[in-house]
Amino acid sequence: MLVRNLDFLSIPKEFSKVEVEIYDKNSIALVYIENKGYSLVLKDNNKINSVFLLKTDILPNNVNDHQDRGDFINVIKMLLDKIYSFADIKEYEKQHQEHVFLRLMDMLTEGDAVEKITEENSNIYRDIEKGFMKLEIDILENKINALNSSLSDVSSSFQNTVTEMEENTWGNKIRKTINQQ
């Protein structure tokens, strides 16, 4: 009998979403998916422009010393760069990625501007749900491919060792035969 537990694919039925206006009707929304990670959504005039999934165990109230913090902030920087690429404003007027990150996390922690989104009230919920399922499957496929590669390397190494041993054995037999004559 084969048994599979697909609990790792299931995600909460409600997400917490906060949003920050960045520049000229462009905003970044942060969606927190408990025990899974986050989704960063770039919106242009309330239309979804890009959606990124971040699988991490960073908690909104504990972001300071986490190893994924830098990568998280880099994704925000990429979104900010995309927003500002069409803007003709001075560099010092642009929002800094770390400040945007901290503001979004504070909004989640404080809870006053948090919107609860579900499958019934948000289209982005379904996209995130499917995205996380696909991400989990991709992670499993990567692990399987790495395991297969390791097995192949071990098998190849073993075969080379066997071949060398056989060659040494035959070489020794030939030398003994030549030496006896």
Q: Tens of pLDDT along 104-137?
A: 998 988 887 888 888 788 777 777 777 777 777 7
Residue 110 confidence (pLDDT): 87
Q: Above 60 in pLDDT, residue 180?
A: yes
| pLDDT tens readout for residues 31-61 | 998 888 888 989 888 888 888 888 888 888 8
Exposure of 147 in the CB half-sphere (CA atoms within 13 A):
6
Residue 181 confidence (pLDDT): 62
Model confidence band, residue 30 (pLDDT cutoffs 50, 70, 90): very high
Q: Is 146 buried (19+), middle (13-18) or exposed (0-12) by CB count in 10 A?
A: exposed
Q: Above 70 in pLDDT, residue 8?
A: no
- What residue segments make up the domains of the chain, in order of their start? 12-122
Q: Where are the beta strands (DSSP E) in the chain?
A: 15-23, 26-33, 37-44, 47-55, 115-117
Residue 169 confidence (pLDDT): 66
Residue 44 pairs in a beta bridge with 26, 47
Model confidence band, residue 77 (pLDDT cutoffs 50, 70, 90): very high
| pLDDT tens readout for residues 134-164 | 777 777 788 888 888 887 777 777 777 767 7
Residue 51 pairs in a beta bridge with 41
pTM of the model: 0.69
Model confidence band, residue 4 (pLDDT cutoffs 50, 70, 90): low
Cα–Cα distances (Å) from 61 to 32, 34, 176, in that order, read 12, 13, 76
Q: Above 60 in pLDDT, residue 179?
A: yes
